[in-house]
Every structure is written in structure tokens, then in C-alpha cells.
Structure 1
Amino acid sequence: MQNVKTTMAGNVWKILVSVGDTVIEGQEIAILESMKMEIPIESTVCGTVSKVVREEGDFVDEGDVLVELDD
């Protein structure tokens, strides 16, 4: 299992994947809002979404897990 983590603190503005989706390295999986800017979060690995850990509207810190992926 691999985790996709946030790169900065902010609010989860939009989740772009669902459980069962296949993602590739570099694919945007979520968009954070921080300081009135939209920051895309990209997957660093390929896999299938097994769990969406955070929901839209949640506040996250740098390094928090957004999505869990199975190989």
C-alpha cells in the first residue's frame, strides 16, 4: 500500500478520485486551497485508490495522508 500525502497545509477544496479509480504517477488527485490559491496534489506512485482518507472541506497539514493506494 502507498499513501499520497499533502505537500503543504490548507483546506481540501476538491477530491478528484474515488475508491476503485486507477491513478498514474503525476496525476492530480486533489486540490488544496491555501492563501486563496488552488494547489494541485499529484500522486507520486501508480495504483488503485483503496481509501479516500480526507474529505472536501477538511483542513490538512503538510504530510497528512489524503488517499491510500494499492499496487
Structure 2
Amino acid sequence: MAAVQSEVAGSVWKVLVSVGQQVGPEDELVILESMKMEIPVQAGAAGVVDEILVAEQDAVAEGQVLVRLRP
């Protein structure tokens, strides 16, 4: 199982996927907001969304797991 992590501290602006959805390696899963900038978080590998660990408006830390993917 692959863990998709936040590269910055900020807040979740939008969750773009749902559990069970098939995604590709460059698909955007979540958009974070940090310092008034929108930062897309990509899957990094193809898979199926197994778990979404954040919701819109949640504060996130750098390195925090946002989404888990299964092959």
C-alpha cells in the first residue's frame, strides 16, 4: 500500500478523489493551500484510493499521510 504525503504544512482546500477510485501516477488527489498558494498533491503511482485520511478545511503538517493507495 502506498502512502501519499503532504510536502508542505497548510490546509486541505479540496479533496478531488473518493474511496475506490482508480488513479494514475500524475492524477491530482488533493489540493492544499499554503501561504495563499494552491498546491496539488499527485498520486505518484497508479492505484486505487483505499483510504482518505483528511477532509476539506483540515490543517496538515509536512509529511502527514493524506491518502493511501493500493495497487
Tell me, which stretches of 5 or more residues in structure 1 are unaligned? none
Which residue is equivalent to 2:69? 69
The alpha-carbon deviation at position 16 of structure 1 amounts to 0.3
Distance of 2:28 and 2:15 partners within structure 1: 9
Which residue is equivalent to 1:48? 48
Equivalent residue letter for 1:52 = I
Tell me, which stretches of 5 or more residues in structure 2 are unaligned? none
The alpha-carbon deviation at position 10 of structure 1 amounts to 0.5
Which residue is equivalent to 2:17? 17
Give the aligned length.
71
User: Identity percentage over the alignment?
Assistant: 49
Distance of 1:10 and 1:48 partners within structure 2: 25
The alpha-carbon deviation at position 8 of structure 1 amounts to 0.6
The alpha-carbon deviation at position 63 of structure 1 amounts to 0.8
Which residue is equivalent to 2:39? 39
The alpha-carbon deviation at position 47 of structure 1 amounts to 0.5
The alpha-carbon deviation at position 43 of structure 1 amounts to 1.0
RMSD: 0.7
Which residue is equivalent to 1:57? 57
